[in-house]
Structure 1
């Protein structure tokens, strides 16, 4: 395990400030820890442009899909108790998924379907279930957008949303392809059914309280409301547009203000993208992943989660969807991506890095080889707007001695 060159670490602060000065990000922060010790923290810019409030270390941010590793880990704590096996069909828990259909190969219309088996828990966890997102291309993405199946904080609860989703066809036969999806939102509902508790109650009991993550919740904690960041987009359309999208005249157009956000009082607990929290809270989670479970989950289970669960790299499974990470050189485990080949991924790193990001451009990775936890927070949707993630990885690895 190498150390860090202090002068080279300072490049991170310069890079962050340049993003703020170019109005790419309103504000941002980065936190690095190695061997359990903090080696770098920087912050820059504003958490709320109109109010002129600075981005600070205790700023509360939407972490969107960085919720997925939390949900996945909680499900695995239940699996450790022998309550189910990962090859169990989701219909065992959610009967609405019992009679499924999927689009035929090459389908251009939503009515071009054939019967198929319900996806398994493992397929939901690894994005091989046949589910999709409303912003993905293809007939299913279009159907989801038409029916507003988005699992947003402002929508009705998990149960009716999962029932509405189950009434649609799958994008492909489960297990045959990889497509980024709401599968882990469905896993969140499975957790509720298995435990008889709300998803947040399970998270608090099994993860947040044991780790001291007291400011990470589905709704902004009342005591933290004055620290909640605003969220922006450079796009002319809705911020959750990916792929070909036109940029608007204002690169920091407000799409979710801190004072009227649905995250102040969420009505849907999205296991795929619903948490808000602080950067220090999330470091507690990544350090638990890095150090073997901290008594929350068994180290062998954690090692199993952080392995590649696909036949090869994500790109080999024909995805047509958006994802929070490169698809070449990357596999996928349970709850996050696994680095298989840094050269193929075109970004430095150790084989076995475990990582994922969120739609508002947040990002984390855990490097077991270098004993490193790295977390980046900002609030800009979509995360495909700028190449901040590979740039940050290059800066961090370039600073190592």
Structure 2
């Protein structure tokens, strides 16, 4: 790994070092997080890379080879895969989803029932379009939201289980039996929409989703350590993963040495299934920053990336006005949503330093990234603790990174 002098990238080295001290003292030494790894780059040049904490219980420290479950940071990759098919003329943003997934031809919207009582429903006001999957306005939900009778039905049917009974086709068929939370385009709800998008990519391309990712994105970008399954010869690099229990505190969720990610999943989750490294995801971010290209490999066209990173919420609204979600990987005020990314649409409303047009997302295990096309800055942050909403670490990281700009 090559790193550049921070000052040559327009950063104050002392202020970047202060971020490491904050992470080490406030989060790792205190036991809040098991580890922390931060990569900050400008124009694709790595200006700062730091790691603190152990990769596994009483094990070696995390380093640049450590593998992390990136969860919903899978979503932008799935969105890029879909837009590659748009560029090929095989599908469009306004294509009705049921044209590709005919299982969805008779979807309806929840009106009442559930919890043992048959659902009552009403027809969709508008058909679900591909753009609704990309911007989370499709009407789907997540079972873990624990908010409605619809998400309760997701839990009962184990809709989101990666090692359950469903492959992508079975997942679509099971989802088609349940009502939507709302008519497509009328609200925003964090959901399995990107998993559905992965099914679309698989159907349209005629390739299994993991193979499409590997051949069309990861190989050209040199993302050699990214995939749905950790190979046997790399399992020793996979970090332990934790969840937070209100009584016990941090408890083991998935042990690296015996991880569920060491087995091929039944459901290839375009919404959250990938494992990666900070350096691999940095390459993905740099491709986006460069307008779709990296080291001679063209993944997307420049204007396609520009389209993806505009606010696509109806009426140019923000999540504060449109979100019905109990949880998402973004703050709501001033935040729009594009085609696979949250969009910083009004910096003042976010109350965090940043740039209009900056785009980002995170994962449930507290990983995060952002791409700022104005300042030409990218960040990748890795750790392994769920839920990601537990601590304000993303806000603190952004504030301190922007404060380090000269």
Task: Report TM bin, short chain.
Answer: over 0.9
Q: C-alpha distance in 2, partners of 1:99/1:343?
A: 43
Deviations 1:275-317 (Å, cap 9, x if unpaired)?
A: 0011100000000000100111100001000111012111111
8 Å contact 1:306–1:333 — kept in the other structure? yes
Say whether 1:274 aligns with 2:273: yes
Paired residue for 1:113?
121
Unaligned runs of 5+ in 1: 236-246
Paired residue for 1:259, among 243, 257, 260? 257
Deviations 1:328-375 (Å, cap 9, x if unpaired)?
A: 110000111000112211211000001000000000000001111101
Shift in CA distance, 331/153, structure 1 to aligned 2, threshold 3 Å: farther
1:161, distance to aligned residue in structure 2 (A): 1.3
Paired residue for 1:238?
none
Paired residue for 2:308, among 297, 305, 309? 305
Paired residue for 1:20?
28
8 Å contact 1:189–1:199 — kept in the other structure? yes
Paired residue for 2:370?
365
Runs of 4+ in 1 over 6 A off after TM superposition: 105-110
Paired residue for 2:59?
52
Deviations 1:211-270 (Å, cap 9, x if unpaired)?
A: 0001100001332110001110122xxxxxxxxxxx122x32001111222211122210
Q: How does 1:36-185 map to 2 (within 5 A)?
A: 36-49=44-57, 51-104=58-111, 111-116=119-124, 117-136=126-145, 137-153=147-163, 156-185=166-195
Paired residue for 1:239?
none
Corresponding residue SS for 1:103: strand
Give me the CA root mean square deviation.
1.8
Paired residue for 2:242, among 205, 217, 232? 232
8 Å contact 1:91–1:98 — kept in the other structure? yes
Q: C-alpha distance in 2, partners of 1:396/1:274?
A: 28
1:2, distance to aligned residue in structure 2 (A): 7.7
Q: C-alpha distance in 2, partners of 1:142/1:119?
A: 22
Corresponding residue SS for 1:124: helix
Corresponding residue SS for 2:83: helix
Paired residue for 1:5?
12
**TM-score with structure 1 length normalisation?**
0.93
Corresponding residue SS for 2:172: helix
Paired residue for 1:391?
396
Q: How many residues align?
A: 388
8 Å contact 1:110–1:139 — kept in the other structure? no
Shift in CA distance, 262/110, structure 1 to aligned 2, threshold 3 Å: farther
Q: C-alpha distance in 1, partners of 2:9/2:218?
A: 31
Corresponding residue SS for 1:79: helix
Deviations 1:76-118 (Å, cap 9, x if unpaired)?
A: 0001111111111211111111101111399997723212254
Shift in CA distance, 284/2, structure 1 to aligned 2, threshold 3 Å: closer
Is 184-193 or 315-324 further displaced after alignment?
315-324
8 Å contact 2:9–2:47 — kept in the other structure? no
